[in-house]
């Protein structure tokens, strides 16, 4: 088949590893969710130990309360965030481009490169040396300037020397930026992390910038002046939504849930139900990632899901299923397939009558070769 | 249409199918099977071409099948229909493939299959097509779809093989 087909090129997937790099391919594949076949997004583990994207396993458990891989009984209660896996996936995504470049030193389709070096081996050696030199020589503060100047040639090296931080998504971290505590994953100024760990990972205070004494002050303020905690209220509460019982919930109750999250309340009960279900799925799985989307973004995503579902329906998908939901549809189906049933019935009757005195060749008679 | 669709715009099903299509294209199953969407507008309908495996009566034949995906794929399995129908104990006379891996988890009134053989979201077009290939090697006459054919297969294998070969020839127009 044609690998340059527009459909195959248009995707935003990262380029695959060359087929001879079996180890790297395996590593790459290990970081794919088995359900959506894409890199884990907000990975979680369930009781049996298998991991999936939060959203994938949540929607899968909605239809069947079993692990999709090993069939062990599983429930939503057993879902736990897998922070280590998330970190691995994130860093692998950053490192991927570098690894691909290293694995094919000469041909690189996506990046502009300086004119090809004479031989492969010397080229790669040369590169390794340059890498080392760069690591040793360049200080960290230097690299952001380089990056913004957009020197293609140095891009791969930049990434590796600054600890594998990808350009567009995350800017290079400086001491004043926020970072994640490697132990409790709390976000706080990078400079404050060592102290924060030393003190046994107390939850960081939002309003305070960084330094240890500031943190203490804020702590005391919180104890004595109850006013300051009210400031935190503008941050939206991130608590999982409990699922309503869809069999018992009235449309009014569903609408209440939807309007509490400023979502549209149009449509009949099935539409409301689907929307509530989809929203809870999006919202709850959004809590399982360190890169949560904003609520407006989630709402936009919900809109898109509904729109694409509508599109699919309009294209006549599930035509049979829809046909069978109406009485006329069933009648039509019976009319169309009735002949088949009648034929099977006749076959069975004929077979029964032949059953006792049957020669070998006769058994296959009713089969039609079309 | 899909050429300018981004990750956010296409439905989960379409996105996953695109992914599977890419994987199948990049790494075809020993050239025994090709599969892909019939038109770019509709990722939910595919056509597959299956080559009859060597050493079976289906050898030499190329069989076309339609794959129809539900809009909530991969939560639910797709349907596979050989068109024209194929003579096989596990294929209904109308061409529908009856294979446990394509059965939605939860509906097995006969209790023939253990849950582990059923569809789950981790299965894919590739794994199903591989199962179909292995079914061509070894029909499962214990839970037949085409009862007559299964009986013929069990009781009179040479005749069964003769018929299959005749069908393969007629399909190829020889």
Q: Are residues A323 and A304 in the same domain?
A: no
Residue A219 lies in a domain: yes
B-facing residues of A in 295-314 (CB < 8 A) are 301, 304-305, 308-309, 311-313
Contact B85 A304 (CB under 8 A): no
Domains of chain B: 2-172 (3.10.110.10)
Q: Are residues A287 and A325 in the same domain?
A: no
| A1 and B CB contact within 8 Å | yes
CA distance A262 to B10: 24
| φ and ψ at residue A326, rounded to 5 degrees | -105, 155
Which residues have C-beta within 8 Å of that of residue A263, sequence separation ≥ 6? A275, A279, A299, A302
Residue A334 lies in a domain: yes
Q: Is the pLDDT confidence value at B168 over 60?
A: yes
pLDDT of residue A357: 60
Residue A279 lies in a domain: yes
* Contact residues, chain B, for A35 at CB < 8 Å: 74, 121-122
Residue A124 lies in a domain: no
The CATH number assigned to the domain holding A48 equals: 3.30.40.10
Contact A1 B34 (CB under 8 A): yes
Q: Are residues A287 and A267 in the same domain?
A: yes
Sign, CA dihedral A160-A166-A172-A173, equals negative
Q: Is the pLDDT confidence value at A148 over 50?
A: no
> Domain residues for A91?
12-105
Q: Are residues A19 and A98 in the same domain?
A: yes
Q: Are residues A309 and A264 in the same domain?
A: yes
CA distance A131 to A122: 14
Residue A303 lies in a domain: yes
Residue A162 lies in a domain: no
Range with the poorest average pLDDT among A10-14, A29-33, A38-42, A140-144:
A140-144
pLDDT of residue A271: 86
| B156 and A CB contact within 8 Å | yes
Residue A41 lies in a domain: yes
Contact B85 A370 (CB under 8 A): yes
Q: What is the CA radius of gyration of chain A?
A: 30
Range with the poorest average pLDDT among A55-69, A107-121, B44-58, B98-112:
A107-121
Residue A7 lies in a domain: no
Question: Which residue is listed with tokens 């492969």?
Answer: A120
Range with the poorest average pLDDT among A75-89, A143-157, B4-18, B22-36:
A143-157
Q: Dump the DSSP string for A183-214.
A: TT--EEEGGGHHHHHHTT-PPPPSSS-S-HHH
Q: What percent of chain B has pLDDT over 90?
A: 24
Final residue in a domain of this structure, among A47, A73, A105: A105
Q: Are residues A305 and A342 in the same domain?
A: no
Q: Are residues A289 and A346 in the same domain?
A: no
Q: Are residues A16 and A78 in the same domain?
A: yes
Give the pLDDT band of residue A321 (cuts 50, 70, 90). Answer: low
Local structure of residue B49 (DSSP, 8 states): E
Give the pLDDT band of residue A112 (cuts 50, 70, 90). Answer: very low
**Cα–Cα nearest to A2, from B31, B17, B22, B92:** B22
Q: Is the pLDDT confidence value at A94 over 80?
A: yes
Q: How would you list the strands of the sheet with A51-53, edge to edge?
A: A51-53, A43-45, A80-81
pLDDT of residue A187: 75
3-state secondary structure of A3: coil
Q: Are residues A346 and A273 in the same domain?
A: no
pLDDT in tens, B89-106: 999 999 999 888 888 766
Range with the poorest average pLDDT among A79-88, A222-231, A350-359, B141-150:
A222-231
Total number of domains in chain A: 4
pLDDT of residue A164: 42
Q: Are A19 and A104 in contact (CB under 8 A)?
A: no
Final residue in a domain of this structure, among A76, A105, A134: A105
């Amino acid at each position: 088949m044609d690998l340059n087909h527009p459909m195959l090129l248009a995707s935003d997937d990262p380029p695959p590893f060359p087929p001879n790099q079996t180890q790297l391919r395996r590593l790459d594949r290990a970081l794919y969710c088995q359900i959506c076949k894409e890199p884990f997004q907000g990975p979680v583990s369930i009781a049996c130990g298998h991991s999936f994207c939060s959203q994938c396993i949540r929607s899968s458990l909605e239809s069947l309360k079993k692990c999709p891989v090993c069939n062990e009984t599983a429930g939503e209660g057993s879902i736990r965030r897998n922070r280590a896996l998330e970190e691995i996936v994130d860093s692998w995504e950053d490192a991927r481009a570098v690894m691909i470049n290293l694995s094919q030193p000469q041909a690189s389709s996506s990046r502009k490169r300086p004119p090809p070096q004479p031989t492969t081996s010397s080229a790669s050696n040369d590169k390794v040396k340059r890498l080392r030199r760069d690591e040793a020589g360049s200080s960290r503060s230097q690299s952001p300037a380089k990056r913004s100047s957009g020197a293609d040639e140095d891009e791969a090296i930049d990434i590796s020397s600054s600890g594998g931080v990808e350009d567009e998504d995350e800017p290079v971290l400086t001491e004043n930026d926020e970072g994640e505590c490697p132990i409790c994953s709390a976000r706080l100024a990078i400079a404050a992390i060592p102290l924060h760990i030393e003190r046994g990972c107390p939850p960081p205070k939002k309003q305070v910038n960084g330094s240890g004494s500031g943190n203490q002050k804020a702590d005391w303020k919180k104890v004595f002046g109850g006013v300051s905690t009210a400031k935190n209220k503008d941050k939206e509460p991130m608590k999982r939504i409990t699922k309503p019982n869809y069999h018992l919930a009235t449309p009014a109750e569903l609408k209440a849930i939807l309007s509490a999250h400023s979502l549209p309340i149009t449509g009949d009960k099935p539409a409301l139900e689907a929307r509530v279900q989809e929203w809870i799925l999006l919202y709850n799985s959004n809590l399982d990632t360190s890169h949560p989307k904003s609520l407006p973004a989630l709402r936009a995503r919900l809109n898109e899901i509904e729109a694409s579902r509508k599109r699919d329906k309009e294209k006549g998908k599930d035509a049979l299923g829809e046909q069978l939901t109406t009485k006329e549809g069933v009648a039509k189906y019976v009319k169309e397939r009735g002949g088949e049933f009648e034929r099977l019935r006749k076959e069975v009757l004929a077979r029964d009558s032949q059953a006792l005195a049957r020669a070998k060749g006769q058994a296959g008679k009713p089969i039609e070769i079309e | 249409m899909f050429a300018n669709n981004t990750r956010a715009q296409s439905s989960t099903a379409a996105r996953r199918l695109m992914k599977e299509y890419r994987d199948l294209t990049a790494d075809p199953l020993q050239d025994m099977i090709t599969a892909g969407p019939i038109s770019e507008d509709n990722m939910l309908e595919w056509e597959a071409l299956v080559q009859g495996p060597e050493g079976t009566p289906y050898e030499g034949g190329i069989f076309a099948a339609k794959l129809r995906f539900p809009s909530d794929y991969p939560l639910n399995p797709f349907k596979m229909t050989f068109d024209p129908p194929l003579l096989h104990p596990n294929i209904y006379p109308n061409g529908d493939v009856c294979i446990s891996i394509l059965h939605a988890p939860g509906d097995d009134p006969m209790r023939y299959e253990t849950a582990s053989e059923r569809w789950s979201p981790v299965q894919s077009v590739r794994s199903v097509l591989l199962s179909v290939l292995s079914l061509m090697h070894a029909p499962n006459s214990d839970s037949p779809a085409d009862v007559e054919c299964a009986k013929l297969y069990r009781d009179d294998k040479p005749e069964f093989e003769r018929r299959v070969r005749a069908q393969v020839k007629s399909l190829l127009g020889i």
